Amino acid sequence: MTLYRQIAILVTMVFIVLLFTILTVSFNIIKDSAQKELYENAQNSVSSLSLSISNTDASQGNIETMINASFDNGNYERITYKDVNTEIKYQRELEIKQSNIPQWFESIVKFEIPVAKATLSDGWQVAGTIEILNDKNITYTQLYNIMTHMLWYLGIACIVFLTILAYVFHVILRPLLDIEQQALAVMRDEFVIQEKLPWTKEFKVVITSINAMVRKFESIFKTTSDTLCENKELLYTDNVTQIQNRRYFILKATEFLTDENGKNDGSIVILSIKKADILNKAIGYQKTDKLFYNFAQYLKSSIKHIDDSLVCRINGTEMIIMLPKVYMDDTSYIAKEIIAYMDSQLLELNLDKNEFGVHIGIAEYETQHNISELFSLVDYALAQAKLLPSGEYYKLMNNKVAIAKERWRQIILDGFKNDSFEIMYRKVINTNSKQKIHNVVSFALNSGNEAYYYGTLIAPVVELGMIKDVYLYVIKKVLTSKEYISKTPLTIQVSSQFIDDVDTYEKLKHLFEEVRNQIKCQIIFEIPESVINKHYESSILYIKLFREYGFDFGISSFIADSSDYQYLKELKPAFVKADKQYLLDTEQNINVLKIVLESLGIKLIATGVNDIDEIKKLHKKGIDVVAGMVVDKI
């Protein structure tokens, strides 16, 4: 809890106690005064009445007449006439009426008034006693009104006082917020200098101290940063080729092999310049170094389009390329381009490409490999490459690939047999209302103690040609599910392979017909924009099928990659999903797109949104429906 809140609560409690004390003391004084006044008034009234009767005929009829006159003209609860034997001869009492005063109030302030008495005389003889009890209800009413007014005025005074006090505290304690922000920045390793110093001496000293500490940290950071940069150049960069060296390769390769987000398998290419020592003698060290430099820069430029690719020089004559998520076929093409480039460089230097040139070996690595096994792979591939004629390269085939495919096939078939596909849902929400728009269907396959999620499962499914079987199975499982009872719609994403399969349409139609009476929720099928562009006729066929059975459809992976948007008007999707990067990177196009979609009543949904800042940026563009990891933060 902040200091401001603590002070505010403390002051509020003190003021409430003070208010309650003032109210209680004041009210008790007023109540005692009213009680005393009631008795004195009653005593005066009874004395006056007694005197009036004594000065006239003190007969029974006259007494009753005088009592009635006084009772009717006064506020009395009771007037009683008693004879000398204290026997009641005549009495007037106020009828009991429903009071407008709350019962709890009467219980709190309840008090008793002494009965006022006066002796009634007839000449020199005592004729009896007159007793008067004033009406307390009027006093209760007056006290209740006084209390409510006091509460009202004191309450207003309290609010005004606390408001003024809150503003004063806010002004006085405002530097604390700056100090807090500066402290948090320091914890985040950010160097924030507070230029504006407060006039409060204590706060000024604190901020000045933090500024001094931050400046010292910043100076240390800058010095160490410069040192680290120098060390990085010295430790991890090859002086001749200006690419990373063996030490850097070991660090990055170890990182790749232990990565769980997609970089733990792929291809690796080992290259060795032939007869480098003879080359130095033939053209000189400077030209040889320049050849190595140009070759290294060519390697960097040739793979710069590949995410997380890595080029390093691991010794005087060998270089290595690591390509996560790139496999043998693509790597073979890169190898051919490398050989052609080196041959052209040797031709410019008037050197025989058969004598010099480059040896190239290619292998595939997997997550099971460690750094030692990785070097064993490339050493073996290079050794075999050196046995090949000039212009050729060696491919170390991985025998585990065929085994892995068969293993995947068996896992998937067992999943069908054992019904071990698990349906999962990802939320799409409106960030303003926090309302779920729909849930996106995903799935995983449980096999033994392993769970294969969609991202891991879909690649082997496509490679095995089982996309149709898996999708039909999952769609049927979703449509016939009795577990999902929410009114929130479900969306099912379909791929290009699914729509492109000529047998899928009839099987899907048969499935819809089979389960049409078992469907309990609204279903929307998502088709990627690229699929509609490439397979427009097939897409229309499927969309008509969806709508024939009461389903809707939406467009996913939208990047405005079409020459004509007339299809939006014709197909009228329920929504268009576009990646947040596309929506945030485009300025004019997104405004045009919004006009087109809004004119057709099509909802625009941002996907891949991962943090709140992106939601704020999307809000500025008028987009409030999102999907992605951020939905769990809202």
Q: What band does 235 get if pLDDT is binned at 50, 70 and 90? A: low
- Per the CB < 8 A criterion, the answer to whether 551 and 520 are in contact is no
User: What DSSP element (H or E) covers 187?
Assistant: helix 136-187
Q: From 3.40.50.300, 3.40.50.1480, 3.40.50.720, 3.20.20.450, which CATH number describes the 403-633 domain?
A: 3.20.20.450
Q: List, for residues 346-389, the tens digit of each pLDDT value.
A: 888 888 877 888 899 999 887 667 778 888 888 888 888 888 88
Q: List, for residues 431-472, the tens digit of each pLDDT value.
A: 988 888 999 998 888 887 788 877 667 767 766 778 888 889
Q: What band does 99 get if pLDDT is binned at 50, 70 and 90? A: low
Q: What band does 213 get if pLDDT is binned at 50, 70 and 90? A: confident
Phi, psi at 85, each rounded to 5°: -95, 15
Q: List, for residues 145-161, the tens digit of each pLDDT value.
A: 888 888 888 788 878 88
Instruction: Report domain extents, the chain.
Output: 3-159, 191-236, 242-398, 403-633
Q: Is the pLDDT of residue 328 over 60?
A: yes
Question: What's the whole-model pTM score?
Answer: 0.44
Q: Residue 76 has what pLDDT?
A: 72
CB atoms within 10 A of CB 522: 15
Q: Residue 270 has what pLDDT?
A: 93
Mean pLDDT for the stretch of residues 510-528 = 88
Q: What band does 403 get if pLDDT is binned at 50, 70 and 90? A: very low
Q: Residue 59 has what pLDDT?
A: 67
CB atoms within 10 A of CB 258: 12
Q: Please report, in angstroms and rounded to a whole number, the separation of the first and last CA atoms in the chain.
A: 23
Q: List, for residues 1-11, the tens digit of each pLDDT value.
A: 666 667 777 77
Q: What band does 124 get if pLDDT is binned at 50, 70 and 90? A: low
Q: Residue 260 has what pLDDT?
A: 41
Sheet strands side by side (includes 244-245): 244-245, 310-313, 318-324, 266-273, 358-365, 394-396
The CATH superfamily of 242-398 is Reverse transcriptase/Diguanylate cyclase domain (3.30.70.270)
Architecture field, domain 3-159? 2-Layer Sandwich (3.30)
- Amino acid (1-letter code) at residue 524: I
- Can you tell me whether residue 622 is helix, strand or coil? coil
Q: What band does 544 get if pLDDT is binned at 50, 70 and 90? A: very high
Q: List, for residues 590-617, the tens digit of each pLDDT value.
A: 766 777 777 677 899 998 788 888 888 8
